[in-house]
Amino acid sequence: MHRAGKLVLRRLVGSIPVLLIVLVGTFFLLELASGDAVDAYLVSTGGGDAALVETLRANWGLDQSPITRLGLYLWNVLHLDFGYSVLLNRPILTVVLERLPNTLLLMGSAVALSFGIGSLLGIAAGSRPGSARDRLLSIGSLALYAVPSFWLGLVLVVVFSVQLRWLPLSGIETLASGKAGLDRALDIIRHLVLPVGALALIYLALYLRLMRAGMVEVWRQDFVLAARAKGLSRRRIVWRHVARNALLPLVTMLGLQSATMLGGSVVIESVFSIPGLGRLAQEAVSGRDTPLLMGIIVISAVLVILTNLIVDVVYAFLDPRVGASEASA
């Protein structure tokens, strides 16, 4: 536990400069946007006189130099103040935290599903490299990987919602249904089947290919030869020796993929009208609420850092060698 603690601390300290760069970057993107928060406010309220504009600018610190404002921005973010969404008329952090659980539910289910099924199929493909089964799975996964998630989502909607009428078209739950407890959970699951399916089917290919490559690599190593020489059954070698060692790179990929997946949820959430972080980002874009968009980006970056941290700790437990050398370095 001590080792894991050291690792966590090291990673957290290491991510401070990265976060700082993200914040400075988003600040400059905000600067590039035409018009500031006061303009946006005036548009939403229907205008005001010049004196009001001046007071607002002074109150919100917009009359200061860019460097002073950057300092102010960093200071506010440090206090978890990401500013105010003019579009939704509420603090950005509140809005984001409200939408976050839906995205986490969507992403978490998709990741779990694609990781689980992808690695199993990867074992199936990689346990007999070069076989017909292997080639079929490899080409099939490549084809899946070429599919845009939002289009797959639409096709699933056409088949399962419009034609077969098995599953709901959009949303995360039936509105005003008055459902509670288990009923409500089942309702949410029914709504999630299609969006999670669309995301999982595409990411599945990645894990399948990685697992297969790992299997092929490990298969040729000496300890596998030794296991074969001992006369262990093929099944036992595949599961106990090869698959176990081939699984490690997939865990690393989980962390590396987290940023991509958060991005991918933007389109899927807008296809299925799921009120999550991604859908919020699209609302911010169409409502020209740049500060809200930047807040979402910063909070997503924090989320990615945290995910990577969790993956690192899991990895350290799975492979003691890596954890030990990382923590002592």
Partner 1 sequence: MMARFAKSPEGLFGAAVLAVLIVIALGAPLFFPRDPLSIVGPALTAPFTDWALPLGTDRLGRNVLAGLVHGARASLLVGFAATIAAIIIGASVGTIAGFAGGLVDEILMRIVDAFQTVPGFLLALAFVSVIGASLPVVVLAIALGAWTGPARLARAEVLSLRERDYVAAARVIGMHPAEIAFREILPNALAPVLALSAVIVAGAILTEAALSFLGLGDPNIVTWGSMIAEGRAVLRSSPFLSIIPGLALVITVLGVYLFGEGLAEALSRRRVRL
Binding site for partner 1 (CB under 8 A): 15, 17-19, 21-22, 25-26, 29-30, 32-33, 129-130, 139, 142-143, 145-148, 150-151, 154-155, 157-158, 162, 213, 216-217, 219-220, 256, 259-260, 262-264, 266-267, 270, 281-282, 285-286, 288, 290, 293-294, 296-297, 300-301, 304-305
Could you give the angle at the alpha carbon of 256 between the alpha carbons of 252 and 259, nearest 5°? 150
Report, in Å, the least distance between residue 320 CB and partner 1: 26
Phi, psi of 84, rounded to the nearest 5 degrees: -120, 130
Nearer to partner 1, 64 or 282 (CB): 282
> 110 Cβ partners below 8 Å, 6+ apart?
195, 196, 199, 200, 203, 261
The H or E element containing residue 90 is strand 90-91
- CA separation for the pair 308, 19 (Å, rounded): 14
Q: Which residue in this structure is represented by tokens 């809005």? A: 95
Q: Closer to partner 1 at the Cβ: 35 or 320?
A: 35
| Contact present, 303 and 294 (Cβ < 8 Å) | no
Q: How far is the CB of 179 from partner 1 (least distance, A)?
A: 26
In the complex, minimum distance from the CB of residue 112 to partner 1, in angstroms, rounded to a whole number: 19
DSSP 85: E
Tokens 């699984």: give the residue: 247
Minimum Å distance from CB 128 to partner 1?
A: 9
How many CB atoms within 10 Å of residue 27?
Answer: 19
Nearer to partner 1, 18 or 186 (CB): 18
Residue 30 or 192 having the CB closest to partner 1: 30
Place of tokens 């009120």: 275
Considering the complex, what minimum distance in angstroms separates the CB of residue 47 from partner 1?
Answer: 23
C-beta closer to partner 1: residue 24 or 186: 24
Please, which residue, 109 or 127, has the CB nearer to partner 1?
127
Residue 151 CB neighbours (<10 A): 12
Shortest reach from residue 158's CB to partner 1, in Å: 5
